[in-house]
Amino acid sequence: MHELSVAESALKIARRVSAAHGNVKVTGIRLSVGSFDHLDDEALCFAFEMLADETVCRGAAIAIERHPFKATCGACGEKSESEGIAEVCPACGSAELKWEGEEATRVVSVDLDLPDVNEGV
């Protein structure tokens, strides 16, 4: 299950960020999912929740950004974007498509429950 390994990596990163700030609670994690990574959002969130139980990440909200596939047609030069890989160019119908996209899934940000530095002032 690819989602489990991605969730494990995200949890490790979030815990490392938390530890660098005194082991404060992690309230959110934002992931950027590469176009070519076939991850199921629901399975990824479930795996993260399961792994995060009993850690500073328990209950953290997960936001997932997906990037569209990008293609350039070798026949007409048309550039297009789509949610999935299309078999033909939407402009001319050619199958000469060169696909591009974000390949890696990565943690974009980790939100922490940091104490208000102005409290008690």
What CATH class has 2-67+102-112? alpha beta
Record the pTM: 0.78
Do the strands 79-82 and 61-66 form a parallel or antiparallel pair, or are they unpaired? unpaired
**pLDDT over 70 (residue 118):** no
Cα–Cα distance for residue pair 51/26, rounded to 1 Å: 14
**pLDDT over 80 (residue 117):** no
Domain positions in the chain are: 2-67+102-112
- What pLDDT does residue 5 have? 95
Residue 119: other Cβ atoms inside 10 A: 6
